[in-house]
Each structure stands twice: as structure tokens, then as C-alpha cells.
Structure 1
Amino acid sequence: MSEVAASEGQGDRAGGRVVAAGLAVLGWLVKFVMVVVVIATVNFMLVHAAPGDPAQVMAGQSGAADEKLLAQLRADYGLDKSYPIQLANYLGRVLTLDLGYSYRQQRPVRDLILERLPATLLLTATAFIAALTIGVMLGLFAGVRAGRWSDTFITILSLLMYATPVFWLGLMLVLLFSVKLDWLPAFGYVTIGVEMNPLQRIGDVAAHLVLPATSLAAIYLAIYARLTRASVIEVMHQDFIKTARAKGLTQGRIVARHILRNAILPVVTVAGMQAGALVGGAVVIETVFAWPGLGRLIYDALLQRDYPVMLGIFLVMSVIVIMLNLLTDAIYRVIDPRVSMRTAS
């Protein structure tokens, strides 16, 4: 009887955990939808508050700007409706994953974004991984050797990278590695007009990726290096590090198992918040290097007053930032299991 009761109790607890997990997922989905709706509303209000009339831009590009044509264009694209109706129509389309139709390019916005999104994700992911990995390594090395010449060198290098504008750094890298040394391609995503097999194409894209990814990663690399150094120095003075040394653990084991694991927590937090800023920073880099991503697309849409494209890109970027924050929270829980324990309690 006791075994039956124990098995039933375990089954009830397992069922309760499943129900709790289902409710948590449902609550997360509801919050996600609410956040997306709020972001879409704010984006709509900000974009439509900017000066300029899309109908006048389109009419001017067609070579005729009479009132009849302007009225026709506004009616065709729903610009003649009141502001609340335009907002309601836009939110209704967002909830059905319809991002609208481009005024200028005469194509669905979703298709335009799906064409450019892989290039932006490739650039930002490469820059983020490079900045985080190299920055943490440099910061760890500088923190462990605080006060020595290597620490001073890394500190000065980090300050220089942080103070350097990304567009100026990109142009200097082009002058050095493309114009002067002719090692790397200066602009574009892939070499045009050259037949390549899949392996050669991957290598060609990687070569085009080096300069823009380096330019985008530089400032964040400096931030992560400085933050890691400060965190490492703080952790090294904790009592548990002194205890580990007293037990006779090697310096490498202390650094890898105790110092780095505790020092990287604030770095993960900051990196998660700044991952979205990488997407925004890609606008400048993609313009400098003619990288065919969302940054270049939104720049052209801004000049052309193509509201649906701008709103679609803003919404996609916002969703990416939300997902990155959720991923950061999951990584934080893996690195520090105490977070999960505090949440559960």
C-alpha cells in the first residue's frame, strides 16, 4: 500500500509540474504578445510623427505631384484614413503576421525582410560572438595579471577601441586591408559575376564578413574586456578564492572553475542587454560596407518615407531583442543555478 501511495504521490507531483510548466509557457506567450503589440504601437506613432508625406515622395519620384495623383496614392495605400483607423489596421495586420506592402518597391514587406534578415543575422552574430569571446579572454587575462604591463596594454587598447567611432574604424580598415594591402574585399556580401562551388562561396562570404564584423565588434569587445577585468579583480578578493588556494588548487583550476564562472555573470547580463544594440549598430556598418542587410534596407526606406518597410524592420528588430533577452536569462540560469532555485522558491 505504501508503494502504491508513493507512486501515486510521485505521479501527482509530476502532473503538477507539467501543469505549472504549461501555465508558465502560456503566461509567457501572453506577455510576449502584449509586449509586441505595445512595441508595434509605439513604433507606429514614432514613424508617423516624422515629417514627410509618403504620397508626395512617390508622386515626386514619378515626375508628377498634382493633387489628383496625391489623393489617388493616399487612397491606394490607406493614407487617407484617420490616424486611429490606420493604427488599428496596422495592429490587426501585425497579429496576423502581415507586415504590409512596400510603397516604393511594390513588394510585400515580409518578403523584403526575409531576403535581408540572414545577412544581418550573420553579421551581428559573428560580431557578437567575436566581441564576447575575445573581450572575456582579454579581460580575464588583464584581471588575473592586474597591475602588470600586460594589464596596462589591454586597458589602453580597450579604451582606444571604445573611443573610436565604428564608421571611422571601418573606413580605416578598408584603407589598410583592402586598398593598401589588398588582402580583403572592401564592400559587398559576395563577389559578383564569379562562378563558385558551395565551399568557395562560403569562403568568399567569410572574406567579405571580416571587415564589417571587426568594425561592429570593436566597441563591444572593449566594453566586455573592461567589465570582465573589473569583475575578475573583485572575485579574486573573495573568501572562497582564498579557501581554494589554501586547499592547494592550481591557479588554472581556480581561474577556470571559480574566478571565471563567478566573474562572467555581470558580463552575460550586459551582453544580453547590448545584443539588441548590435542590430541597431549594424545600420551604420551595413551602409559603410554596402552589406545587404536590414540596416541598408531601413536606411533606404527612411529616405523614401516607406513607412511599412520601416515599421516591419522595427518590429522584427524588437522581436529579436526580446528573444535575445530570453536567451540571456536561460544562459544565466545555466551559469548560476541559484537563480533557478530563487525563482522556484
Structure 2
Amino acid sequence: MPTTIKDVAARADVSVATVSRVLNGVASVDPAMARRVRAAAKALGYEGNPVARSLRTQKSDLLALIISDIGNPFFTAVARGVEDVAQTAGYSVLLCNSDEDSQKESRYLDIARRSMVAGVLLSPNAGGSDVTALQRANIPVVAIDRALDESIDSVFVDSSEGARSATEHLLEQGWRRPGCITGPREADTAERRARGFREALTQSGTHPSDSLIRYADYRVAGGRAATAELLDSPTPPDAFFVANSEMVIGAIEEIRSRGMRIGHDIGLVGFDDTPWAPFVDPPLTVIDQPAYDIGAEATRMLLQRVNRASTDSSNQTSDLARTVLLRTSLIVRGSSLRRL
């Protein structure tokens, strides 16, 4: 005879209602009791019917995480933060990579809506993202890394402050003409980092010139091309602030191809700490953003919306949206230290 929810309740010594709440991902259940229920369900081989449950409750125990670049180590750390919090609350995570492609992102958003996921964590594409269909379906959305619009909860870092800190550090080390390589113009993170670069130059008494700023794709090739263009300009920079880790790789490739020595002929600060950053020669100075914390905090915010939606049939997207702005930190290594 197939195992029933009553069997699970009896084994866990709880009510059927408690088993139902745990298996439906309601976070208000005592964690110890929830663990007991899951252990009983696993021991009895009880899985329930997730499709029927979704149709009945209009909600699943699945969250969708849609990121813009799966090859970027930043998003690896974000995803870990998302999964850790989601798993603790009894949710699984569907990972989708839009690859900065608006059509791919649109398909994933539609899949999330049709699958009736409990909520969506979204790193919007540089040109913006349309989540109106999710809002109409009352599926909560939290934007990560990049802001979306005023009606959506968001978690991201203070990119302007990070860029300002990087540029001030280069100037303090004696580099006189830093340049900035940032992402595509339509990406708000790119413009925020360019803004912080300009602010640091202004505060130092140096008139910021857009001739020292290049916008490019957040890719290795984009970073290399932008570095080459700046180095070939009539008045090239003597240092670079580069706005993400992939672009930094391109910058390093181009600098080395010209026989220039980082830390001697040119200074370098990147945005994002990566596992390889301390091991290049010289080790890379970076602006570190708390990627894991971004994912974890965004998931906590999303689950708050999910749990409210499960007890309130009104449209949660009409509530006042919340924004969490996290701080960056400067990690000084050899690439930015001027050695004669």
C-alpha cells in the first residue's frame, strides 16, 4: 500500500496539518519539527505529488534563480548564498543562465511563471527586464546585482563607493592618470562604477575626462579591447580601474602582450575578488563585494514575500519595495602598489 501523509505524520509524531505545511515549504514551522517531518518522509519514501500540490496551492517549493552570466565567479558565490538559505527553508533552486540575452531571459521568466515557482531571484539583463507577467501571476521577484524598477525588491552593492575607493587608492599610490574600463552603458552597475571613478578624480582636484573611460561588454574580450584602445590613445593612462573580474583578465592579457609590468609600468585594481586573484603575478588588488551575502539576503527577502503571499491573497507587488545596499571593501595586493 502506498505511503500516505498520515503515515508520515504518525512517524514524525506531528499532525497531518504540520506535515502539509512542512512539505509545502511554509517557513513558520519550528525548524526541529520540520527536520523531523522531512526525515520521516524520507525514511518512508513519501514524496507526495508536487504537481498536484502546485495546482492546489498555486505555489511550489521551487525558487528560480536567473543570472546573467554563469561563467562569472561572482554569480557562483551568489548562487551558493541563494541555495544555502533556500535549502534551510525547504526550497529547491532552479538555476537559469540568461547570458545577457533578452530572449533567453524572457523564455526563462515564462517557464518560471508557467511552472508556478514560489518566487524568482533575477539578475536583470543590462538593457532591463520585463517581469510584469510574474507580477500579474502574483509571483514575488527580487532583483540582485542590478536594480530593476521601483516596485521590485532589490539587493546589490554600492558600486559607486567601490569604484571611488579603487580610484582613490590608485591616486594615493602615486599613479597620476588612472583610466576606467567599465561595462556596457545600458547596465546600471557599469554607470555607477564610472560615476564613482569620476567622483574620486573630482575630489582629488583632477578634472575627470571621459577620454579616460571606456564602456565594453563584461567579458574578457571587452576588457582587452578597451585596454588596448586606452593604451593606444594620445595620452594613455598609467593605471586602470577595471569593473569586473572577466574584464580584468583581458586587461592583464593586453598589458602583458606589450611587455609592460603591472605594478611598475602600470597600476591595476579590479572589481570582484576571485580565487585566482591572489595568485597572479603580482597579486591583484580588488574591490571585494559580498557576493554570498547578496544571494543569501535576496533569498531571505524573497521568502518573506512568498510566506506573506501564502497567507494573503492580495497582490504583494503593490507593497512598498525594499532595497538592501551592501558595502564593498578594498583588498590591497601588489598590482596597485607603485614600484620604481
Q: Normalization by structure 2: what TM-score? A: 0.26
Bigger Cα Rg: 1
Normalized per residue, which structure has more strand?
2
Which of structures 1 and 2 has the larger relative contact order (alpha carbons within 8 angstroms, sep 6+)? 1
Normalized per residue, which structure has more helix?
1
Q: Normalization by structure 1: what TM-score? A: 0.26
